[in-house]
Structure 1
Amino acid sequence: MKITLWTWLLLAACGIAQAAEADRRIAVTIDDLPWARLDEMAPPDLQARHQALLQQLRLADVPIVGFVNENKLEADGVVQPQRVQMLRDWLDAGYALGNHTYSHMDLNAKGVDAFQQDFLRGEQVLRPLLAERGQVPTWVRHPYLRAGRTPADRQLMASFFAGHGYRIAPVTVDNGEWVWAFAYANVLNGQPPSAEREAALERLRRGYVPYMLNKLDYYERQSQALLGYALPQVWLMHANELNGAVFAELAAATRRRGYRFISLDEALRDPAYARGTDGYDGRYGPSWLHRWAMAENKPKDFYAGEPVVPDWVKRLAKVDYE
């Protein structure tokens, strides 16, 4: 069979596209350990939902770094052994743990000095807990993804983290997952068991996975537009009831998209991450891809098309933003 030049070019293009799809990679990070909105649950519910989340993670079989807020280990200022055990459960499952500050402090609001003190307070349990296993804290995640409002502050924090042996864990796939989770928890905890409640929970479970995949698709397009290739992404999620119900389903759907789950360390080997936190001086905390785009003065329409949380979910979550 004779192959024309155009046929060869088409076959080559398809091969390149397939190779690019085969190299889709993503690292999962989970914030607010041992549990988001922990003080709103009775201990038996907390333990049951914690175990449900770990079971979902085991089914998904992905590398994970979890980020700890140590104030969530306390009740009335006293560290609770049962909550520390929740962190041991994460370590027993083979997951890494990082520092998310003691109180989930906003660096941009509180300033460098206060943040550094809060950060060091956030390793008082974590450091000896990891030492039991011959490990040391390695990863830091900025609460709200707020990394400093000036280049000088960001440089001070970069030096501070490095001096204490930490690496910043960026986020490229930012999302309103927390809004869906608030909605799910509000329905689960705020309504008595009924067919109506189960229908609302099922609607949230069914809507959540497509929403998260749409966010993933959006940030892959942003990566292609900014960098010219599919960056190994870093996904932000939280320890909550919704992920305790559907994380394994989300992971399976992500694999069907052609993604391979990798460690955070492997993702950050990509040279794009050397750009760091530069590019954004506002009060909020955008995706690292958007920070880098701002550093290049991309026009406003560059950011268009990002999926949003539906209004009906925001109403159930009792928030009007994401």
Structure 2
Amino acid sequence: MQSKLTQLVTGLRVVALSGLLFLFLASPLLPQKKEVCLTFDDFPYVQMGRYPVSLIKDKLTRLIKVLEKYDAKPAAFINEIQLYKDESTIDPRRVELVQMWIDAGFTMGNHGFRHVDLSFHTAEEFKEDVLNGEKIFAPMIKGKQKFYRFPQLEVGNTLEIKREVERFLEENNYKILPVTISAAEYKFAIAYSKAYYSKNEKYKKKIADDYIAYLSKFIDLVEKQTEFLFKRQIKHVMLLHMNELNIDHMERLILLFKKKKYKFISAEDAMTDEVFTIRNTYAGRDGLGFIDQIASMRRLMGDPLFDDKRVPVPDYVLELSDNDFYDFPYDNE
């Protein structure tokens, strides 16, 4: 009886060890968890003052509906100057747009009052812009974590300046939300706006289709860069802007991520990835996202893998986006 029991235990151990060995050998072949936080800069809307508030409210309502449908857990970064009618008068209708976003359960963060970037302003001017940029939204989020997004992704021309503003943000209870997916979305957005307001439906469709195709290839490239740098996929943060292109085609963008097996996560969740605790010594005026910052630190920016031109923007989009001045159908109100 003892012998049979011993044989049984030994057999179970062999099976268990075999299973562990299989998992060890197969693990590189298993699909990695892929997660992304969608973020929108320039809230409530890019160049808000050029549009009727009612129009932006309608657009924001559409966007929120799509984001809620897919439980996307997005974050937005506000320039509070866009909530003012003039230099001194807050427009309550614009503040209502902030409340709509917060009421949907989404994260609201600070993008600077006037979008002051560190490449062309002093650290003191930057700090003032941060504090001026939280007077309205901060009380509205009722003690929730405050996030900050650097305008133009400019973190400081020198490491000394960078560390100074990082300390300032930490002292003021901010977490800096990095960007890991920073595509040339703004170029497509300018081109799309031109087609949108000239009522050129053919070009609207073409630009939107090419935008989604471009993003698909760009996301694939970022995954390869991430695997090379960190030997795994990380919790990604995608930079988008509040504009016609993203609002009109947000469902397509979300479905693109779902097709690639991504799960949508919040800004708070994204920041739990240990990759963001890496000692980041990048400084400069290049406006690089997190992955390019790490690649720059490791002197890899000359490597073809880190050349974003591997995913080119179509020439016609570049031509259309060269100049964003065009006839605009709205007055200030």
User: C-alpha displacement at 1:137, in angstroms?
Assistant: 5.1
Superposition deviation, residue 64 in structure 1:
0.9
Number of the residue aligned with 1:64: 74
1:119 to 109, 127, 130: 130
1:3 — aligned with what? none
**The one of 168, 171, 185 aligned to 2:176:** 168
The count of corresponding residues between Structure 1 and Structure 2 is: 302
2:210 is aligned to 207
> Identity, % of aligned pairs?
27
Distance in 2, matches of 1:310 and 1:318, equals 13
CA RMSD between the two structures: 2.2
**CA positional deviation for 1:319:** 4.1
Structure 1 residues not aligned, in runs of 5+: 1-8
Aligned-residue offset at 1:261: 1.2
Counterpart of 2:314? 310
Q: Report SS of the residue matched to 1:110.
A: coil
Aligned to 1:284: 286
Distance 1:59 1:206, change over 3 A: farther
Letter in 2 for 1:317: S
Report if aligned partners of 2:107, 2:267 keep a CA contact under 8 Å in 1.
no
Q: Is the 8 A contact 1:63 1:95 kept in 2?
A: yes
Q: Which amino acid aligns with 1:25?
A: E
Check whether the contact 2:43–2:242 (CA below 8 A) recurs between aligned residues.
Answer: yes
Q: Compute the displacement of 1:37 (Å).
A: 1.8
Give 1:141's aligned amino acid. Answer: R
Q: Secondary structure at the match of 1:19?
A: coil
Q: Which amino acid aligns with 2:298?
A: E
Q: Deviations over 1:19-78 (max 9, x none)?
A: 32xx01111111110111212223332222222222232233211111000011112222
Residue range with higher mean Cα deviation, 267-276 or 61-70: 267-276
CA change 1:277–1:86 in 2 (3 A) is farther
Q: Distance in 1 between matches of 2:95 and 2:51?
A: 16
More displaced, 307-316 or 112-121? 307-316
1:261 corresponding residue in structure 2: 264
Paired residue secondary structure (2:240):
strand
* 1:297 aligned residue: 299
Give the whole-Å Cα distance in 2 for the aligned partners of 1:172 and 1:110: 25
**Whole-Å separation in 1 of the counterparts to 2:193 and 2:159:** 38
TM value normalised by structure 1: 0.87
1:104 deviation in Å?
Answer: 0.7
Q: 1:241-294 deviations in whole A, cap 9, x for unaligned? A: 111111111111111111111122222222211125422x33121111111111
Do 2:301 and 2:307's aligned partners in 1 also have CA atoms closer than 8 Å?
A: no
What amino acid maps onto 1:19 in structure 2?
P
Distance change (3 Å), C-alpha of 1:199 and 1:109: same
Q: Deviations over 1:91-138 (max 9, x none)?
A: 1111010010001111121021100001100011112222xxx33451
Aligned to 2:43: 33
Q: Match of 1:252, as an amino acid?
A: L
Aligned partner of 1:103 among 101, 104, 114? 114
- Indicate the residue corresponding to 1:4 in structure 2: none
The one-letter amino acid of 2:55's match is D
Distance 1:110 1:178, change over 3 A: same
Find the counterpart in structure 2 of residue 151 from structure 1.
159
Contact preservation (8 Å) 1:127, 1:137 = no
Matches of 1:53 and 1:97, distance apart in 2: 15
Question: Residues of 2 paired with 1:44 and 1:270: CA distance?
Answer: 39
Classify 1:276/1:169 alpha carbon distance in 2 versus 1 (closer, same or farther; 3 Å). farther
Give how far 1:315 is off. 2.3
Match of residue 278 from structure 2: 275
Which consecutive residues of structure 2, in runs of 5 or more, have no partner in the other structure? 1-20, 325-333
Residues 45 and 317 (structure 1 numbering): CA distance in 2 closer, same or farther, change over 3 Å? farther
Q: Which amino acid aligns with 1:278?
A: T
Q: 1:101–1:118: 8 Å Cα contact kept in structure 2?
A: yes
Distance 1:39 1:155 in 2: 34
In structure 2, the residue corresponding to 1:94 is in which secondary structure?
coil
SS class of match (2:40): strand
Sort the Cα spacing of 1:294 and 1:86 in 2 relative to 1 into closer, same or farther, 3 A. Answer: same
CA contact (8 A) 1:179 1:319 kept: no
1:241-260 matches, within 5 Å, as: 241-260=244-263
TM-score by length of 2: 0.85
Residue 55 of structure 1 is matched in structure 2 by 65
Instruction: Decide whether the 8 Å contact of 1:141 with 1:168 is kept in 2.
Output: yes
User: Does the Cα contact within 8 Å between 1:56 and 1:246 map onto a contact in 2?
Assistant: no
Q: CA deviation at 1:303?
A: 1.5
Q: Which moved more, 1:49-58 or 1:66-75?
A: 49-58
Contact 1:98 1:141 in 2 (8 A): yes
* Preserved contact between residue 44 and residue 97 of structure 2 (Cα < 8 Å): yes
